[in-house]
């Protein structure tokens, strides 16, 4: 049996506890030995099964992949650079609530990074560190300690280490050590090989307001002296793949409704008298543009809204301009017709503008198929258009995968 505090108990007698116990190996000694073992490692390959548990189960994806990494002549400095000089991850990513995994590859060669979606046959290309956002999800399955300098500094610096016994991980007998880091919010459970002193797994734990989130990695076929194929780190775009430049992820305006909250329901009239109700649009992505005819930035943004509407015509996407705070005698419908804009128009949006925390205009909202805010922004920014298209594309694809 496993006992707390690293004690192995061999017996219970009668109603009173009469146990013969002994302390396990010193956790710091195990981490120090692992540090020395990894000091000579410059490259590695392994298979990994990475999956979320607890509060993260509905938020983060499962990843099954093969990882190839090379730090070059010196071990990789994780504080100076997000990933080593050469990295390749080939795998399948399964999002929460989605049945079918998406096959992907991520390749880093120097500062160039290429993210391949093999289902859609797309390649997103960028340069580090600007395109570090491409690493956010695939990096969940990358165990940087294998090629990083001073891999267990944080663990050796912790005063709260507990030896929890032994456990088999993918056929390897491992020491299990629980670590609580300095802030108390972050913890980990490490699985260090008894025979090889290599990390065979880790449970990364975060204690947050929404609950205890755990992300587990289990490694197999670890090779610390791999012989890589000549093209394994070639960061090129395969023939037949659509190449895209990296676009910075959209950042919502904190003054507006937070991402993930339920969007307030509303019913508004279109110019033809038809009523449109948000709650009746469930199952579709809804894009709202709060605007007025007198607002110059609003008018500058409208061609982009039109392009968004045309791109997703025939898809489960509804695009509406919400007219609000108009001057007396204005005619939003006539204005849009004159300008050649054909996306939806909703009138007299003052009440819902208040509910959506609209102060200045224009204000943009993207509402997902469940009626929750996926993005909110204020003001006109031409650089936002491509990111907005990518966001809506991703929401449509999630619908199609369900």
**Residue range 308-333, pLDDT digits in tens:** 999 999 999 999 999 999 988 889 99
In this predicted model, what pLDDT tens digit does every residue of 46-97 receive, in sequence order?
Answer: 999 999 999 999 889 999 999 999 998 888 988 888 899 999 999 999 988 8
Q: Which of 4, 247, 33 is nearest to 122 (CA)?
A: 247
Mean pLDDT of the chain: 91
Rounded mean pLDDT of 8-35? 62
**CA nearest to 256, candidates 347, 326, 389, 359:** 359
Checking if the pLDDT of 3 tops 70, the result is no
Average pLDDT over residues 154-182: 96
Query: Are 97 and 60 within 8 A, CB to CB?
Result: no
For 262-293, write each residue's pLDDT tens digit.
999 999 999 999 999 999 999 999 999 999 99
Closest by alpha carbon to 205, among 219, 220, 184? 184
Domain boundaries, the chain: 23-245, 267-401
Q: What is the pLDDT of residues 242-259, one digit of tens each?
A: 999 988 878 899 999 999
86-94 and 267-269 strand pairing: unpaired
Q: 10 Å Cβ neighbour count for 28?
A: 15
Measure Cα distances from 374 to 188, 251, 388 in Å.
Answer: 31, 10, 11
pLDDT band at 6, cuts 50/70/90? very low
What average pLDDT does the segment 141-159 reach?
94
The residue among 317, 308, 329, 276 whose CA lies nearest residue 382 is 308
Q: Could you give the CA distance from residue 24 to residue 8 in angstroms, rounded to a whole number?
A: 7
The residue with tokens 């969940």 is 140
pLDDT exceeds cutoff 80 at 12: no
The CATH number of the domain covering residues in 267-401? 3.40.30.10
Sign of the Cα torsion 201, 202, 203, 204 reads negative
The full 3-state SS of 27-68, as one line of letters, equals HHHHHHHHHHHHCCCCEEEEEEEEEEEECCCCCCCEEEEEEE
In degrees and rounded to multiples of 5, residue 386 shows phi and psi of -65, -40
The pTM is what? 0.71
Would you tell me the crossing angle of helices 296-311 and 332-339 to the nearest 10 degrees? 60
pLDDT at 23: 62
Contact of 45 with 147, CB cutoff 8 Å: no
Asked if the model's pLDDT at residue 230 lies above 60, the reply is yes
Domain 23-245: which CATH class?
mainly beta
pLDDT at res. 327: 81
Choose the weakest-confidence range: 20-34, 105-119, 206-220, 380-394: 20-34
pLDDT at 402: 66
DSSP, collapsed to helix, strand or coil, labels residue 310 as helix
């Amino acid at each position: 049996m496993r006992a707390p505090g690293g004690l192995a108990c061999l017996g219970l007698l009668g109603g009173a506890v009469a146990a013969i116990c002994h302390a396990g190996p010193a956790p710091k000694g195990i981490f120090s030995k692992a540090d020395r073992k990894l000091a000579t490692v410059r490259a590695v390959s392994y298979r990994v099964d990475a999956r979320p548990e607890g509060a993260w189960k509905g938020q983060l994806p499962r990843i099954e992949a093969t990882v190839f990494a090379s730090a070059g002549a010196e071990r990789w400095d994780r504080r100076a650079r997000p990933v080593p000089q050469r990295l390749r991850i080939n795998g399948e990513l399964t999002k929460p609530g989605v049945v079918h995994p998406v096959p992907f590859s991520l390749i880093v060669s120097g500062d160039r990074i290429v993210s391949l979606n093999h289902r859609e046959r797309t390649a997103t290309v960028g340069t580090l560190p600007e395109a570090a956002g491409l690493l956010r999800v695939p990096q969940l399955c990358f165990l940087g300690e294998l090629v990083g300098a001073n891999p267990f500094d944080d663990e050796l610096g912790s005063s709260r280490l507990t030896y929890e016994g032994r456990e088999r991980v993918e056929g390897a007998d491992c020491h299990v050590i629980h670590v609580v880091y300095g802030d108390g919010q972050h913890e980990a459970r490490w699985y260090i090989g008894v025979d090889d002193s290599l990390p065979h797994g880790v449970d990364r734990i975060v204690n947050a307001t929404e609950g205890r989130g755990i992300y587990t990695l289990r490694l197999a076929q670890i090779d610390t002296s791999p012989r890589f194929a000549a093209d394994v780190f070639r960061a090129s775009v395969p023939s037949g793949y659509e190449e895209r430049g990296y676009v910075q992820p959209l950042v919502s305006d904190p003054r507006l409704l937070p991402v993930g909250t339920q969007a307030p329901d509303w019913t508004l009239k279109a110019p033809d008298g038809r009523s449109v109700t948000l709650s009746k649009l469930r199952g579709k992505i809804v894009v709202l543009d709060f605007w007025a005819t007198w607002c110059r930035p609003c008018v500058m943004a409208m061609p982009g809204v039109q392009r968004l509407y045309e791109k997703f015509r025939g898809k489960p996407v509804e695009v509406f301009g919400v007219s609000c705070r108009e001057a007396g005698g204005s005619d939003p419908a006539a204005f849009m017709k004159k300008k050649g804009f054909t996306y939806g128009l909703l009138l007299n949006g003052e009440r819902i503008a208040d509910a959506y925390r609209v102060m200045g205009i224009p204000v943009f909202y993207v509402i997902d198929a469940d009626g929750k805010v996926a993005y909110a922004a204020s003001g006109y920014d031409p650089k936002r258009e491509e990111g907005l298209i990518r966001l809506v594309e991703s929401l449509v694809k999630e619908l199609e995968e369900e």
